[in-house]
Structure formats: structure tokens, C-alpha cells
Structure 1
């Protein structure tokens, strides 16, 4: 059985190196993963199968991010199941050579080597920029023009 520290490190290294098909196996069958800072407020991921889909869905664009976790600091808490991990994904976009850094803080509950709960605080603007999706994110954030009744 992996410690919370070991499970976290397997996750962030797996996000960088793959295989992505195996990442959902780090989570309990029933879990609760949220991204509280995501500007589009996606629903929580609540099962291993939802996480498998999350990790294996193709990226929105054909871009390759060569990245690694850096500046990793793991804080243990009074609860042996809970850790707070500060780190950043840092790397380069393979196609352009552009450097990027995506700061993150994860608050995780890991029981018997499996993630049962995680609040993943990620800089989603930096992530969208790295993936070449900043314009798409900004468009999604803009209020949609409503259909106006012009007969009045």
C-alpha cells in the first residue's frame, strides 16, 4: 500500500509521463475530485470511470506538452490521510518551444493508497495558455448574447 505522499507523486509524474490509462487506478472506485478555481465550474468527478474518461480524453488541440512537476512541497497534516501538495507543472510546448509554468495546490485525502477526495487548485489560465486554448476559454467566459425581443 502506498503512502499519501507516494500516491500523489505517482499521480503528478503520471500526468507528465503517462500512461494515462493507468492514472484512474490511483483513485478509489467512489471518489470526489473538484477543481474549485476552474473558471467554467465543471462538475465533480465522482468515480474511477469518470476519472478514466477525464485522463484519457484527447486534448482539444494537437499540442504536445513536455512537462514535469517542479518545486514540489508536500505538507502532512494532523490527519494521516490528508496531505497538501504545492507544486507546478513546468515545461515546453513541443511544437513551438514556448515555456510554461502551471502552479497547483492539491488538497488530498488518500486512504489505503487510493485517492478518495481531492481539491485540485490549478491555474487554469496558465494551463489554457500552455494548451493554446486561452481564446477558447475567454470565449466560454463571455456572456452569450441573448435573443432580444425587438417587437416592443
Structure 2
């Protein structure tokens, strides 16, 4: 019989039925790595975020409308996290409504959450719903599928029009 225990810890709900959800092997648990990731995305330091990933990794954004290639190395992730944003907006955000589900595979978790906050320059509030499916081995992310509402994200960053332009067939852009 499988027992699922729901625990409220700092507004994080864990659906973890494993006897030792915090690891026990000397490495950070998948849950801890995920929380460091989403809090680091919001608070920084961005130059350290790639250290949460294995040297060789596989990170995809399956719902991204422009279908970017996967990020396959810690080096690529470092560039991803530290590249200056091409927009003049500052997002003040935090991860909220976090629910972490364990799976039959102890390396894999599914995390539901949202980035919520406001745009400093305008005061505009935003919520970006997300679901991440992560494989974490020896305390490092070796695989991640990040399902993000990219329309809500583009709106928050003030990039919705440029995203829509990029999605239009080139013949429509010229009109």
C-alpha cells in the first residue's frame, strides 16, 4: 500500500511518499534542487544557477512557441541564465503555489508552480504558470522538461508583440 503525505513547508506542498524525501546519500534531494532553481531564477545570483545542472544535461521547453533547441551542457545553461535580457523591464517575482509530486523513479519529480509578481517599471501584475519534470541524479539536474506559459511570460517581459511577429509567416509580417 502506498501512502502519500502532504506536508505544508514554507507554502510548498509535497506529495512525497518516500521514506527519506531529503536524500540521505550526501546529495541534495530533487526537491531541494528544484527549490534552489526556482528561487534562484527569481532572486539570483544567476551566474550560479548552471551549477545546479550536470556537466552534460538535456533541458527542453516543449511549449515554447518558437521551438528553441535543447540546452545540452552546463556551459549552455550558464549562457542562458546570464545573458542580458533584450528588454528594458525588471520583473520582481517569486515562485508560488508550489506542489511537488514524487514518482516511481526516485530521481524524477514533477513540480507545479507559478512565477508571480509585478513589473517594476509599470506596476503591472503577472502570473506565469509552470510545470517542470526534472530528473536529478547525485544532486544535479540531468534532464528537465520545463512547461512554461510562454505567452504569459512574453506579456510580463513586454515581448508579446515581438513573439507574435516571430510566429507570423514572413508574408504576413510584410503587410
Relative to the length of structure 1, the TM-score reads 0.95
Pairing 1:1-152 to 2, within 5 Å after superposition? 1-145=27-171
- Cα deviation, 1:64-101, whole Å, max 9, x if unaligned, reads 00000000000000100000000000000000000000
Q: Deviations over 1:98-127 (max 9, x none)?
A: 000000000000001000000000000000
RMSD between aligned residues: 0.8
- Where structure 1 has 5 or more consecutive residues not aligned to the other structure, the ranges are 147-152
CA distance, structure 1, for counterparts of residue 38 and residue 89 of structure 2: 19
RCO higher in structure (CA 8 A, sep ≥6): 1
Secondary structure in 1 aligned to 2:171? coil
Q: Return the alpha-carbon distance in structure 1 between the equivalents of residues 83 and 160 of structure 2.
A: 19
Write out per-residue CA displacement over residues 31-68 of structure 1, whole angstroms, 9 at most, x where no aligned residue: 00000000000000000000000000111111100000
How many angstroms apart in 1 are the aligned matches of 2:38 and 2:66? 23
Runs of 4+ aligned residues of structure 1 deviating over 2 Å after TM superposition are none
* Total equivalences in the alignment: 146
